Structure 1
Amino acid sequence: MDVAVLEIGGSHVTAAVVSPDAWTVNVVDRAKLESQLAPEAVVGQLADAARKLPLANGLAVALPGPFDFATGVAWYRNQGKFDQLYGYNLGDNLKTELRLDRVMFMNDAEAFTVGEWTAGEVRGVERCVGVTIGTGIGTAFLADGRVVREGETVPPGGELYKTSYDGKPLEDSISARAIQRAYPGKVPGVKEIADLARAGDRVAGDVLLAAFGALSAALKPWIDRFGVTRTVLGGSISGAFDLVESVFDFPVSATQDTEQSALIGAAAHYLRSS
């Protein structure tokens, strides 16, 4: 059964059909998303993207938290995205707008990691972790392909961003804003800092090494506790992996395509939950 999937970020929505036979992804549309508009306007944008998909079997949605993925209620506040959706039941309103019985939500970092376990860098690995790095950090710890959020072997809720490093929240050391803040020059984003590092800018290189070094140090105790044998990095910042691979003293690789993995993971979870 093919699965209709939306992958939602702070500034885009991707609509795709995922075929589980070979886990192929057909991206039907990738549109700009104005996430700071009123709830009804956000729902309208998402519904417009979803209507381009075959919805007879329902819809799977991968999106970032804070969000109640079971009930469909958004809890974004001071996130720079979806702030007007605080306390809003996106699930019920999206179902009503699209006249659907079933819309299933999944955390985007978990969707990414399940996608990588299903058809990517950590395919079939018994115990693995996926880390998405962009405006913030997302993580998912998987045992036999299933997300583990509870217990002493994973961070609170399975979310590494809730931990600290060097006496500060981890995202103060490794995130897009942290890296841009650490670089002394004005640049549009992390991609440009990585380009400068590849061109020989030693300060840019040192900034990236320090940021990913913090990630490596913060992640290592949990890798040991959970028994992780392979780690995969995703998110927009994972494109700098070639510059920072040396800071990791455990097996790690970068995804080929974060968005495609999240689409596959959401579809796999949707089918598993059917």
Structure 2
Amino acid sequence: MMQNTTIALGVDIGGGHIACSAIDTTSGRPIPNTTSTSKVDSKGSSQQILKCWADCINTTLEKIDKSQLKGIGFAIPGPFNYQKGVAIYELTDKYESLYNIAIEPAIMPLLNLDETKIRFLNDASAFAVGAAWCGKAWGTKKSISLTLGTGFGSAFIDNDLPVIKRSDVPDQGCLWYLTFKDGIADDYFSTRWFIREYKKLTGETVKGVKEIAEIARNHSQANNIFLEFADNLASFLMPWLKKFEPEVLVMGGNIMKAADLFLPALKGLINCDVQVDIEISELMEEAAMIGSARLLDDDYWHKIKPHLPII
């Protein structure tokens, strides 16, 4: 590593895991052999959760020259006050013990560090910022990023910044809560939709999309679930693609591991009506860590801070 390299740690907080990596702040790329991961009991006490997070971060800190560290960026799901760094997990089924806790002063004593900057960004926004900084949305002015997994994450990016309040985006710049068919978008564009539809079709319960995809590659009935998913997603996205006019739609998350079963259909349906590049994120899980690490660029932080949602 060059002596003048500066480093930011990018932390990705999931519903049941944490991942942390050292990011080169010049290139935006993860530094090899610095990634740490751990499972997290999201129903544990605040002390248990914070210690688990700190242990993972400390493992990455052991692999870097701490004198080069600019700070730590967290990609973390809402509800959360991102400007103040306060968790608002109430009646969320995950991380409820962190309710109303300011994360920086709570975790700092557990880190093997002197004082450092800690900044926070919504996990879906961090994925989108990472894609715009050095991923599939690099070099574009406007992009939409989606994460498809246990939940439905999304972010609208214009000039490298998330858009959360404008006439061409939904309120808070996310799509998951919008009405769709008999529920909301999150009901239809997440793992549980696939599990529900497969059970309706076969009467069998499976753990996730991976199992359904393996079956679908040999059975047309199961394959039809993926084609229905493509049809639903295209019809839901179309109004926002027309309003926002992105140059690229970047897609990530675990459901994209079955992209061969629905992406060709999705592209065909969307590109009949709207011209937009549709790309699978090559960064996948790294994108959120890269995006959160960008918060330690002070110029970028001052630009993005007014655009941070507080939920």
Same structural fold, with TM-score higher than 0.5 when normalized by the shorter chain: yes
On the 8 A contact 1:72/1:92 being kept in 2, the answer is: no
Answering whether residue 253 of structure 2 is matched by residue 238 of structure 1, we say no
Answering whether residue 270 of structure 2 is matched by residue 252 of structure 1, we say no
Q: Any unmatched runs of 5+ in structure 2?
A: 1-5, 272-276, 303-311
Q: Deviation at 1:167?
A: 4.0
Answering whether residue 11 of structure 2 is matched by residue 37 of structure 1, we say no
Answering whether residue 91 of structure 2 is matched by residue 84 of structure 1, we say no
On the 8 A contact 1:6/1:59 being kept in 2, the answer is: yes
Detail structure 1 runs of 4+ shifted over 4 Å in the superposition. Answer: none
Q: Deviation at 1:41?
A: 1.0
Distance 1:72 1:91 in 2: 7
Corresponding residue of 1:265: 291
Aligned pairs, number: 273
Corresponding residue of 2:165: 150
Q: Deviation at 1:16?
A: 0.8
After superposition, the CA RMSD in angstroms is: 1.8
SS at match of 2:12: strand
Q: Deviations over 1:42-72 (max 9, x none)?
A: 1111111122325542211111112111112
Q: Deviation at 1:78?
A: 4.2
Report the TM-score, using the length of structure 1 for normalisation: 0.93
Corresponding residue of 1:176: 191
Q: Deviations over 1:186-230 (max 9, x none)?
A: 2111111112112x2223211122223222211111111111121
Q: Deviation at 1:160?
A: 0.4
Q: Deviation at 1:133?
A: 1.2
Candidates 104, 118, 128, aligned match of 2:119: 104
Q: Deviations over 1:79-127 (max 9, x none)?
A: 4421222222223312343353421011111111111111111112111
Distance 2:211 2:104 in 1: 37
Candidates 13, 19, 36, aligned match of 1:8: 13
On the 8 A contact 1:95/1:102 being kept in 2, the answer is: no
On the 8 A contact 1:165/1:214 being kept in 2, the answer is: no
On the 8 A contact 2:233/2:266 being kept in 1, the answer is: no
Matched to 2:154, the amino acid is T
On the 8 A contact 1:18/1:24 being kept in 2, the answer is: yes
On the 8 A contact 1:174/1:212 being kept in 2, the answer is: no
Q: Comparing both chains, which one has the higher relative contact order based on Cα–Cα distances under 8 Å and sequence gaps of 6 or more?
A: 2
On the 8 A contact 1:124/1:144 being kept in 2, the answer is: no
Distance 1:223 1:43 in 2: 39
SS at match of 1:195: helix
Distance 2:106 2:125 in 1: 24
Candidates 74, 90, 101, aligned match of 1:61: 74
Corresponding residue of 1:203: 221
Larger Rg: 2
Q: Which segment drifts farther, 82-91 or 65-74?
A: 82-91
Answering whether residue 121 of structure 2 is matched by residue 118 of structure 1, we say no
